[in-house]
Amino acid sequence: MKQLWAPWRMSFINDAKEEKPSCIFCHLPQDLNDKKNLILYRGELAFVIMNKYPYNSGHIMVAPYAHAASLSKLDDDSLIELSSLTKVSVAIIEKLFKPDGLNVGMNIGRAGGAGFDKHVHMHIVPRWNGDFNFMPLLAETKVMPEHLETTYEKMLPLFKEIEPL
């Protein structure tokens, strides 16, 4: 039998036991420790943050600072910056990771699959041919090829190059 080494999983297990702040998209940007919180970019009305429990390496989210449960609740300026940051983030992921494809989208509302259903946010997930294998199906385990901190350090310089939107 082969062992699967995934030391980052312990933080997932421990985090699941801890009481969560009401909204990570409101709480985390207030803390200025961007590296700890995996924040890659801060705009005027929106920001880019890595998903702490990614589907694939490079899985990021773009969120407005405004606490809104749906796109229809955002003001036009926030929506424009959210869209612009999504476009720039896609370009960065394409340049850095060279994926075969991307999943870009939102889960709005609990019934829509949103984990944080009170704060709208965009997911950007790089995809590669063959990135889905038997592990999630049979072992309920996703194998991540790179540690979050390593991915963060790769992505950060490209996000620092973004001109203010």
The catalytic site residues sit at 121
Q: How far is CA 66 from the centre of its chain?
A: 17
Dihedral Cα 51, 164, 103, 69, nearest 10 deg: 70
Collapsing DSSP to helix, strand or coil, 117 comes out as: coil
> Any idea what DSSP says for residue 5?
-
Distance CA 58, CA 96 (A): 9
Distance CA 76, CA 73 (A): 9
Collapsing DSSP to helix, strand or coil, 161 comes out as: coil
* Residue-by-residue DSSP string for 127-151: E-TT---HIIIIIS----SS-HHHH
- Measure CA of the first residue to CA of the last residue in the chain; give whole Å: 52
